[in-house]
């Protein structure tokens, strides 16, 4: 991987790339507990808005709620849901792509960072009640027990840590309510700008859309326009569990529906403008996308008010 993306604070790494980086770091460091040590060494303020939001929250629980709420600023694929139970509160680490998307290093690093930074942010040296990891028990667990200062369990149903109600309600003596409000407003604005899909997927969608306007929407043509080889582009998309064919279908579907709303265009023209050389192929694809033929879809638009703008 090139160094430039790693030095760009706004760049988002695919989960597969992050996993490879962790593997390379472990191989270089020869430290079986590297993730725990990295979390401990991370300077306060490295996560900017989230760190300072936590440091101005009124309580330990309030700080953790801010970390949970704005965690997508760090990783939009992973969430920190908080739940209340009879014995206190639970903070989990969950991936929208399933548990296999969270590697052991990332689970260790994330929960250690959240725990240690919340202690620092609120000036409370609290202990957790327990912590659980979904991966199997390692050969040595002394560093886990030292880092979290609580019972550590493995092969659990969920990756999470628990706190008592007393710890959750511990006050933060350094909190500044006025600064907290300003920081949260800023965090809300930043959260709105978090991309809903990876940059490479967005770039390919735009490139396909441009090529569909009477051009060549093939993988080869789009890859060339993006300065990549077809194989490289496919590999980058695969890292996000996306295929070029699926993106092409989605963009053709959206574009075709727009063009079908313009009755000055015959269906054969719509087929050409969405990258099909034959109308029969377009008809077949459109029915696969929508369950209706282009003619049936156009007929269904006749009762709708307004018009659909041409691309």
Number of H helices, E strands in the chain: 16, 7
The pTM score is 0.66
| Greatest mean pLDDT among 198-212, 217-231, 234-248 | 217-231
The answer to whether residue 235 scores a pLDDT higher than 50 is yes
Whole-number Cα distances in Å, 107 to 44, 94, 253: 19, 9, 39
The answer to whether residue 7 scores a pLDDT higher than 70 is no
The answer to whether residue 290 scores a pLDDT higher than 70 is yes
DSSP state letter for 226: T
Predicted pLDDT of residue 161: 97
Confidence tier at 307 by pLDDT (50, 70, 90): very low
Confirm if 159 and 194 have CB atoms less than 8 A apart.
no
DSSP state letter for 173: T
Q: Cα 135 to the chain's mean position, in Å?
A: 21
Q: What average pLDDT score do residues 96-112 get?
A: 85
CA dihedral defined by 198, 204, 206, 209, rounded to 10 degrees? -140
Domain layout of the chain by residue ranges: 14-192, 199-303
Please name the helix (run of DSSP H) or strand (run of DSSP E) that holds residue 92, with its range, or none.
Answer: strand 88-92
Mean pLDDT of the chain: 87
The answer to whether residue 97 scores a pLDDT higher than 70 is no
Predicted pLDDT of residue 306: 37
pLDDT in tens, 172-221: 998 999 999 999 999 999 988 887 777 788 889 888 988 886 678 899 99
pLDDT in tens, 29-61: 999 999 999 999 999 999 989 999 999 999 999
- CATH class given for the domain over 199-303: mainly alpha
Confirm if 35 and 108 have CB atoms less than 8 A apart.
yes
* Residue the block writes with tokens 């770039």: 203
The answer to whether residue 5 scores a pLDDT higher than 80 is no
Q: Cα 190 to the chain's mean position, in Å?
A: 14
- Name which of 286, 207, 296, 276 is nearest 244 in CA terms: 207
Phi-psi region of 275 (alpha: psi -120 to 50; beta: other; left: phi over 0): left
Partners of 162 in the beta sheet?
A: 90, 130
The answer to whether residue 98 scores a pLDDT higher than 70 is no
* Residue the block writes with tokens 């023209």: 269
């Amino acid at each position: 991987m090139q160094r430039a993306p790693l030095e760009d604070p706004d760049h988002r790494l695919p989960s597969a790339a992050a996993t490879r980086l962790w593997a390379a770091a472990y191989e270089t460091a020869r430290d079986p507990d590297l993730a725990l040590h990295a979390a401990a060494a991370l300077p306060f303020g490295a996560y900017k808005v989230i760190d300072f939001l936590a440091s101005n929250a009124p309580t330990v629980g309030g700080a953790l709620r801010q970390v949970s709420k704005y965690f997508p600023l760090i990783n939009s694929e992973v969430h920190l849901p908080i739940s209340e139970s009879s014995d206190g509160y639970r903070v989990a680490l969950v991936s929208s792509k399933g548990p296999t998307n969270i590697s052991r290093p990332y689970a260790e690093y994330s929960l250690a960072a959240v725990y240690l930074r919340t202690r620092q942010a609120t000036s409370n040296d609290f202990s957790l009640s327990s912590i659980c990891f979904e991966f199997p028990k390692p050969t040595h667990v002394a560093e886990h027990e030292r880092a979290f200062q609580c019972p550590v369990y493995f092969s659990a149903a969920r990756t999470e840590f628990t706190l008592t109600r007393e710890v959750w309600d511990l006050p933060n003596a350094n909190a500044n309510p006025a600064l907290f409000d300003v920081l949260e407003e800023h965090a809300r604005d930043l959260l709105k700008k978090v991309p809903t899909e990876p940059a490479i997927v967005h770039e390919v969608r735009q490139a396909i859309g441009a090529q569909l306007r009477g051009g060549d929407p093939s993988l080869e043509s789009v890859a060339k326009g993006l300065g990549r080889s077809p194989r490289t582009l496919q590999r980058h998309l695969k890292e996000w569990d996306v295929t070029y064919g699926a993106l092409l279908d989605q963009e053709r579907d959206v574009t075709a529906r727009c063009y079908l709303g313009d009755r000055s265009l015959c269906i054969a023209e719509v087929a050409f403008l969405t990258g099909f050389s034959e109308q029969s192929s377009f008809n077949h694809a459109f029915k696969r996308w929508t369950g209706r033929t282009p003619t049936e879809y156009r007929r269904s638009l006749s009762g709708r008010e307004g018009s659909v703008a041409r691309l």
